[in-house]
C-alpha cells in the first residue's frame, strides 16, 4: 500500500472532516500518500484529485460539512463512468480507497471493490439508517441540533398555546425522528416504519388539552407523511391553532459533537489499518462500543430496523 484515495459522497454530515483528518494523518504515519477526491464519485470521473498532507487537514476536526466537497453522480452508475473512474485511479497510482457516506456511497464503494480496488466504507449519515452499526457519523450531532430546535419551539408553543408539527429528515427511516422525539418529550412521533391513525393522534392532543396541557409537539419523519397535511388535519379535527415547521438542511450543518469527532477519528484511523492489513470490501461499524466489520454487500442487502423498545418507551412517556 503506497497511495490511497479518500472521498466523501452523498448528503454531508458533521464529522466527515474529522474522518478525513484521521485517514490522512494515520496514513502519513505509515508512510503512505493520500489523495483526496473532490466532489465524491464525480471527482473520480473528472480526475479531480488533490494530494493531502498534514497541513491539508489541520484545523478541520471541528468543522461541519466536508472539505472534500460532495455531489451525487448518476454517471458513476454507468459502465462508461466506472471505466473512467478506474482509469483515473490507475493513472494516479491509487490502489486502495476509503469511501465516507451513506447507503448510496456504500453502493459506490461496492462497485469500486468489484472493479478491483480494495475499498473500506465508513457509515456517515444523519439518518442513521445503515445496518450493522449502532450509530453513524453525524447522527449524534444531528440529534442534538434538532433537540435544540425543538426546545426553542416548545417555548413559543407554550406561550401561544399552540400545537406544532415538526418535520425532520430521515428519508424512509424514522431513527432521527425517534431519538429527537424521545429526547425532547414530543407528544407524538410519526415514523415510516409504523402505521399511524391521525384520528388517534388528534384524540391524544385533545386529551392532553383537557387536562391542562398548553401545547403539543408532533415530530414527523419526512418519509412518514406530508407534514403540511398532518398540520391541516390536526387543526381541523382539534380546532387548536397548529403550526408546521420543516427543519430542512439546518439538521446537516453545525460543529460536530465530541462524540462524532471521536467516532470519526476511530473509523478513519481503523480504515487505514485495515487497508494496510489487506482487508477489503468491508464497512466499519460500532456495536456495543466495539469496532466491527461487515461485508459491504451484506450491508446493502439489509434494512436497519427501528428500535421498537425505544419507540414504545417514547409513547408511554408522552402521556
Identify the three-state secondary structure at position 193.
coil
Identify the three-state secondary structure at position 226.
coil
* 263: nearest Cα among 33, 59, 61, 11: 61
Candidate CATH numbers 3.90.1150.10, 3.20.20.450, 3.30.930.10, 3.40.50.450; the one for domain 3-138+256-300: 3.40.50.450
- Tell me which residue has cell 471521536: 262
The model scores a pTM over 0.85: yes
What are 140-165's pLDDT values in tens digits? Answer: 999 999 999 999 999 999 999 999 99
Cα–Cα distance, 55 to 317 (Å, whole number)? 49
Cα–Cα distance, 312 to 178 (Å, whole number)? 10
Question: Looking at residue 84, what is its pLDDT?
Answer: 97
CB neighbours of residue 50 within 10 Å = 13
The residues near 207 (Cβ < 8 Å, ≥ 6 apart) are none
What are 43-99's pLDDT values in tens digits? Answer: 999 999 999 999 999 999 999 999 999 998 999 999 999 999 999 999 999 999 999
Question: Looking at residue 319, what is its pLDDT?
Answer: 79
Residue 116's pLDDT band, with cuts at 50, 70 and 90, is very high
Contact 137, 264 (CB under 8 A): yes
Give domain 139-252's CATH architecture: 3-Layer(aba) Sandwich (3.40)
Residue 289: is its pLDDT beyond 90?
yes
What are 9-30's pLDDT values in tens digits? Answer: 999 999 999 999 999 999 999 9
Residue 182: is its pLDDT beyond 90?
yes
Equal CATH topology for 3-138+256-300 and 139-252: yes
The residues near 139 (Cβ < 8 Å, ≥ 6 apart) are 13, 125, 126, 127, 128, 175, 176, 179, 260
For the chain, what are the domain ranges? 3-138+256-300, 139-252
Question: Looking at residue 214, what is its pLDDT?
Answer: 86
Which residues belong to the active site? Answer: 127
Question: Looking at residue 15, what is its pLDDT?
Answer: 98
Amino acid at each position: 500500500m503506497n497511495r490511497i484515495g479518500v472521498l466523501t459522497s452523498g448528503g454531508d454530515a458533521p464529522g466527515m472532516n474529522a474522518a478525513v483528518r484521521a485517514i490522512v494523518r494515520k496514513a502519513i504515519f505509515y508512510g503512505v500518500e493520500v489523495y483526496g477526491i473532490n466532489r465524491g464519485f464525480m471527482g473520480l470521473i473528472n480526475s479531480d484529485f488533490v494530494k493531502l498532507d498534514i497541513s491539508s487537514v489541520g484545523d478541520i476536526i471541528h468543522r461541519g460539512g466536508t472539505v472534500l466537497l460532495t455531489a451525487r453522480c448518476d454517471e458513476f452508475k454507468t459502465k462508461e463512468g466506472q471505466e473512467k473512474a478506474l482509469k483515473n485511479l490507475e493513472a494516479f497510482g491509487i490502489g486502495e480507497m476509503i469511501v465516507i457516506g451513506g447507503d448510496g456511497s456504500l453502493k459506490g464503494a461496492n462497485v469500486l471493490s468489484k472493479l478491483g480496488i480494495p475499498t473500506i466504507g465508513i457509515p456517515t449519515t444523519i439518518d442513521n439508517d445503515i445496518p450493522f452499526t449502532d450509530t453513524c457519523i453525524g447522527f449524534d450531532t444531528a440529534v442534538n441540533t434538532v433537540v435544540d430546535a425543538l426546545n426553542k419551539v416548545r417555548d413559543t408553543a407554550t406561550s401561544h398555546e399552540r400545537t406544532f408539527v415538526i418535520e425532520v429528515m430521515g428519508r424512509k427511516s424514522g431513527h432521527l425522528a425517534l431519538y429527537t422525539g424521545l429526547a425532547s418529550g414530543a407528544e407524538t412521533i410519526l415514523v415510516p416504519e409504523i402505521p399511524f391513525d391521525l384520528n388517534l393522534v388528534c384524540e391524544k392532543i385533545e386529551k392532553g388539552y383537557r387536562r391542562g396541557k398548553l401545547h403539543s409537539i408532533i415530530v414527523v419523519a419526512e418519509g412518514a407523511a406530508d407534514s403540511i397535511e398532518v398540520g391541516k388535519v390536526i387543526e381541523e379535527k382539534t380546532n387548536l391553532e397548529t403550526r408546521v415547521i420543516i427543519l430542512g438542511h439546518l439538521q446537516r450543518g453545525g460543529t460536530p459533537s465530541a462524540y462524532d469527532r471521536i467516532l470519526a477519528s476511530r473509523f478513519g484511523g481503523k480504515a487505514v489499518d485495515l487497508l494496510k492489513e489487506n482487508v477489503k470490501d468491508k464497512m466499519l461499524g460500532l456495536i456495543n462500543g466495539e469496532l466491527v466489520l461487515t461485508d459491504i454487500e451484506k450491508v446493502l442487502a439489509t434494512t436497519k430496523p427501528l428500535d421498537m423498545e425505544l419507540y414504545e418507551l417514547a409513547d408511554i412517556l408522552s402521556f
